Chain A
Amino acid sequence: MERIYLDYAATTPVHPEVVKVMQPYFYDKFGNASSLYSFGQEAKAALEESRQKVADFVGARPEEIVFTSGGSESNNTALKGVAFALRSKGNRIITSVVEHHAISEPCKFLAKEGFEIIILPVDKDGLVDPDAVRKALNDKTILVSIMHANNEIGTIQPIAEIGGICREKEVLFHTDAVQSVGHLPVRVSDLTVDLLSSSGHKFYGPKGVGFLYIRRGTKVKPLIQGGDQERRFRAGTENTAGIVGVAKAVEIAAAEMEAEGKQLAHLRDVLIQGLLKTVPDSRLNGHPAQRLPNNVNISFAYVEGESMLLNLDLEGIAASTGSACTSSSLEPSSVLLAIGLPAETAHGSIRFTLGKWTTRAQVDRVLDVFPKIVAKLRAMSPLYPGAKNG
């Protein structure tokens, strides 16, 4: 049976071209970029070339790109780094209720450290209201952090508009762009951001490497202290192979992203329309139009997510759910609750995220298999009122 991977938002396979360019840096060009001799210098050259490519891709200067271990580190550095650098200026940080845990958990930590965290709500489509950001700003505000695109429901936030407000009020603005870099056009000047987080493995790069854009002049305390690497924003011997891999992933994205986005948006809409049409009592979660080209998130009433997921897995199909039953917390997805879903509906949600190697045949297979899975589970659900004509 062909295995079908539809969880690209969790992680993507590494592009074969990326693997190819990384390989020499494990053995032939293994040097430490801080070393003076040629082994070090060739690593250093690769590092700086990669930094330039990444900078070009997001419209930044190379010295504004700090390589990290990935999205979580980038987000932690942005939040804690700015918070501790600007502590004497104020203590208010504004964020939203739909952020990834790599934002919400550092915010909880900062709240314990005496910072005032303002968590803005979202509307039924998952959008943050820029006007609410404006109203939440006060003279104690040191940072606003709103994600670019949501990992669960795919909603794309009005980042440029929020950025404009923050710039006007001279408050630093960070966006977690882990789900958007490599998939949507991301230019730091268009978005008007001061900090931007990205992760390699979300766009066909390797795991364990990402970057943080830090606008020139922005004060950020490092999380990791030690050597002088990354202009002291991030100590530690550089992950040369990983960084070279991210730079290649960025190059591929620059060439393929636009066409890929169109193709995925088409397949996404085929899947959404197909499921909503064939499965009664289902609803799309997230913004109908302002959403990632690869994101499908649908709730199916009367059934629970993990049991749908297991049935899909038995068919070789990999997806994800907002149900509590796959987490240890026993709470359903906070994002789905934030857009107003009742808990029982949130438990019955499934996320399919498409990618570069998703085919129409794979989408058709899901459309063939999935309605049967829901029907089977509904037949054994005590919540199901039964067939309407039965």
Chain B
Amino acid sequence: MAETPLPYSEKVMDHFRNPRNVGVMENPSGVGKVGNPVCGDVMELFIKVENDIITDAKFRTFGCGAAIATSSMVTELVKGKSLEEALKISNKAVAEALGGLPPIKMHCSVLAEEALKAAIDDYRSKQQIAK
């Protein structure tokens, strides 16, 4: 097998090669879509929420290796967390969970954090409407 290319950690490459929770969720509780194809990355995050707990998460991402790995990691990190806990997941926490990211790739982790916040916002606004 080829050596790990670019300055990516083994964990990044693991999540890149075998991304967790890829796909579209049927009837999600919340969806967050962030990024811009012009900039080269778009992240779509789906969450299922039951009793304020995120029970499931899925994603689809157009982007580089770091964007795909951070998306995958954030879906793993949020599962089982309460919405309050999930909102505390920072981009740094996502990057750290991946064993770090090259400096020019840190913006990808920001995208993951934003996608999560957007999905939770979406869920909450739907709840408001339901009330």
Contact = CB atoms under 8 A, between A and B. Distances in A.
Interface of A: 1, 3, 302-307, 309-310, 313-316, 323-326, 328, 330, 332, 342-344, 347, 379-384
Contacts of A316: 2
A347 B38 CA distance: 8
B42 A310 contact: no
A304 B60 contact: no
B1 A310 contact: no
6 contacts: A310-B5, A314-B1, A325-B40, A325-B63, A330-B40, A332-B40
A352 B42 CA distance: 26
B64 A304 contact: yes
B62 A302 contact: yes
B44 to A, nearest CB: 4
Contacts of B42: 381-383
Contacts of A380: 19, 22-23, 59-61, 68
A304 B16 CA distance: 13
Given A310-B16, A328-B104, A380-B22, A323 B60 contact: no
Contacts of B122: none
B6 interface: yes
Contact of B38 (A1, A307, A344, A384): A344
A308 to B, nearest CB: 10
A329 B117 CA distance: 27
A323 B64 contact: yes
A379 B19 CA distance: 12
A361 to B, nearest CB: 18
B6 A310 contact: yes
Contacts of A347: 37, 40
Give the residue among A314, A342, A382, A383 with the most B Cβ atoms within 10 A. Answer: A382
A343 B16 CA distance: 23
Contacts of B104: 328
Contact of A1 (B1, B22, B66): B1
A1 B93 CA distance: 36
Main secondary structure of the interface of B (DSSP, over half): mixed
Cβ-closest 4 pairs across A and B? A325-B64, A344-B37, A306-B64, A382-B44
Contacts of B107: 330
Given A323-B40, A330-B40, A332-B40, A379 B65 contact: no
Interface of B: 1-2, 5-6, 8, 13, 16-17, 19, 22-23, 33, 37-44, 59-68, 104, 107
A210 B5 CA distance: 29
Contact of A303 (B8, B23, B62): B62
A344 B68 CA distance: 17
Contacts of A305: 64
A381 B62 contact: yes
Contacts of A328: 104
Contacts of B8: 310
A316 B2 CA distance: 6
B36 to A, nearest CB: 9
Contact of A307 (B22, B43, B59, B63): B63
Contacts of A330: 39-40, 107
Contacts of A314: 1-2, 5, 17
Nearest to A3: B2
A382 B22 CA distance: 11
B19 A313 contact: no
A373 to B, nearest CB: 11
A193 B41 CA distance: 43
Most buried by B among A316, A330, A342: A330
A302 B44 CA distance: 14
A343 B60 CA distance: 20
Nearest to B35: A382
A80 B42 CA distance: 42
Nearest to A378: B62
B64 A307 contact: yes
A343 B37 contact: yes
A382 B64 contact: no
Contacts of A1: 1-2
B1 A382 contact: no
A313 B38 contact: no
A278 to B, nearest CB: 21
B68 A382 contact: no
A310 B7 CA distance: 12
A323 B66 CA distance: 14
Contacts of B44: 382
A307 B41 CA distance: 11
B61 A382 contact: yes
B69 to A, nearest CB: 10
